[in-house]
Amino acid sequence: MRRNPRELEKTHATLSRRTMLVGGLQAVFVGALAYRMRYLQVEQADQFRLLAEENRINIRLIPPERGEIFDRNGRPIAQNSPSYRIVIVREDAGDVATVIDGLSRLIDLDEEQLNRAIAEMERSPPFLPVTLADQVDWEDVSTVAINAPSLPGVIPEVGLTRFYPRGADFAHTVGYVGPVSDYDLSQIEEPDPLLRIPRFQLGKVGVEAKFEQSLRGKAGTKRVEVNATGRVMRELDRREGEAGSDLQLTIDADLQAFVQARLGDESAAAVIMDIQSGELLAIVSSPTFDPNLFVRGISVADYRALTENKYRPLSNKSVSGAYPPGSTFKMITALAALEAGVMGPEDTVYCPGHLEVSGRRFHCWKRAGHGHVDLLNSLKQSCDVYYYDLALKVGQDQISAMARRFGLGVRHDLPMSAVVSGLAPDRAWKKRRYDKEWLVGDTVNASIGQGYMLASPLQLAVMTARIASGQEVSPRLIKSVNGVEEPTPPAPSLGLNENNLRKLRRAMFAVSNDRRGTAYASRIIDDANRLAGKTGTSQVRNITAAERAAGVLRNEDLPWERRDHALFVNFAPYDAPRIAVSVVVEHGGGGSTAAAPIARDITLQALYGDMPPLSAYPNKDRDRIRAMQDRLRSIMPQGDGDGRGRA
């Protein structure tokens, strides 16, 4: 049909207007787009160039595998164990509270750890994983994995954490690791960047702390591509780090476990030392604690239980406990006098039960006295007056010098925490410390290991080893590093008269093997393994005149913290010394009744390499010893190999 010219003209006009409108809109859009492109490419170019450079590549640390620690026979005592944990990524979880509530219906969540995790989420970027549950079992991991679709942002992970398979036996020696704290970082001048990795573990005490640098190893690195907010987009390459060094200690794990079990609930310490090499075969403090509690951060309740225990389980009494050595110090007084030539081994002193010095009576433990005694009998019966007399003749400075020669008043270099130097005081020390003159009464007290004199169980073991060998043997704890044996330099001679040392050893033998010896009840009857020792009882309070007039209160009638300390030192076998032993029982009473029986048992255990035969004990003790051995077997960890060949 033919259209009217007017209609055609009208249609063309309408199309022209629409075309102009669309064209105008397109022009505006293109212009706006061009302006935006110019703005981004020209005016914002520097900012986006900087972001692109920052976002392109990031280098991150890979924690190395911590070196492991083994006993002298290769048994693990500190190792790395796979640890499963459940983490949450906040930005992927969405409603975190709902997700955690759903997770808690599937697995048990520790409330204290959960609260820490929530606090950590609030101060961490939303894309960083935060641990909700640590050290979970495989069943919980499987449960979380199966229910993953209903738990957005929740991921099961596996890593390595420190584990102490021997539990409490090595708590004081090996120590433990724990999460790096702000305090730890403040104590290090230039902290290793590794220490800033969340939940990184650092050696806190003991060997773990002293060998931290070697055990930690060196970090690896990985290059990752990240976006502007720091989220990892992909991993570009990886270079593994260097694992920490493995350490082997001189300690025998089975012997250590026996000594720990034998000390039981006593507040005590014991040291067993190889006389020739100085290797520590066992070094124990009781009571102890489980170091695994500290690895991930100990709970408030567990820590309070340890700190409020009057027996101080956190204290390593074997090296940090300083006690008056009591009568175990008499060998030092005797040697000082013998070497000075002020008396001979056969010279006698009369003991009426006391010695009067400057108007004051210094009593012997035996009120009736011991009569005339020489070196052997004075030590065998532990006569105090004999040593009062020697000390007045030789003087305190020579006694202190002899004490230091035998390792007392000297800090021994061991990789353990809080190793004390003890105290072997002389005249100059008192002047420096108190600005007072040394008194004759101070010398009398020091002669029997009282007064200012202090020694640790470790130092007493060193003293005994030097008496037995005549050499300046020093304690050692590290046997090898990464399989390379640590050198053992020969111990130099003490330079003492060997005849004097023989006389002293013979007197110590009489202490344990003569019927009148103070430790006769704790003798060994196996001729090949007889021991030579010395009992000691150190006072922790002064006995008043009123108490003496009343017959003195019995030790067991006093509150525990006011009772005397019990000590015993010995070496064995007497004819060919191999080991030196020291035992201290805090507030245990008499050394002959509390410390000597323990020392006899652990000496035999070390010599035999296993529970000793009953034939090594006197007949009257065998039923009791059998019952004790059965009890100890039931509580000691089972060995995982041949435990023989010690010492």
- How many angstroms from the chain centroid is the CA of residue 478? 14
Q: What percent of the chain has pLDDT over 90?
A: 61
Give 253-290 pLDDT, tens digit per residue: 999 999 999 999 999 999 999 999 999 999 999 999 99
Mean pLDDT, residues 496-525:
97
Kindly write down the DSSP assignment for every residue of 310-321, as one continuous string. Answer: TT-TTS-HHHH-
User: How far is Cα 392 from Cα 404, in angstroms, rounded to an integer?
Assistant: 19
User: How far is Cα 456 from Cα 322, in angstroms, rounded to an integer?
Assistant: 5
User: How far is Cα 615 from Cα 525, in angstroms, rounded to an integer?
Assistant: 8
Task: Find where tokens 């006995």 sit.
Answer: 543
Give domain 253-289+315-481+489-635's CATH number out of 3.40.1390.20, 3.40.50.10320, 3.90.1150.10, 3.40.710.10: 3.40.710.10
User: How far is Cα 323 from Cα 271, in angstroms, rounded to an integer?
Assistant: 15
pLDDT at 151 over 80: yes
Q: How confident is the model at residue 559 (pLDDT cuts 50, 70, 90)?
A: confident
Domain limits, the chain: 60-249, 253-289+315-481+489-635
**617: which 2 tokens?**
């004990």
Domains 60-249 and 253-289+315-481+489-635 share a fold: no
pLDDT at 337 over 60: yes
User: How far is Cα 420 from Cα 425, in angstroms, rounded to an integer?
Assistant: 15
Give 621-647 pLDDT, tens digit per residue: 999 999 999 999 988 876 544 433 333
Torsion angle of alpha carbons 615, 617, 619, 624, nearest 10°? -110
- What pLDDT does 90 receive? 82
Give domain 60-249's CATH number out of 3.90.1310.10, 1.10.1370.30, 3.40.50.300, 3.30.160.40: 3.90.1310.10
- What pLDDT does 647 receive? 38
Residue 327 annotated among the catalytic residues of the structure: yes
What is the reported pTM? Answer: 0.84
Give 177-211 pLDDT, tens digit per residue: 998 888 888 888 888 888 877 678 899 999 999 99
Largest CA distance in the chain: 158
Strand, coil or helix: what is 183? helix
- How many angstroms from the chain centroid is the CA of residue 318? 11
- What pLDDT does 618 receive? 96
What single DSSP character describes residue 43? Answer: I
> Could you say which of 267, 327, 417, 469 is catalytic?
327
pLDDT at 543 over 80: no
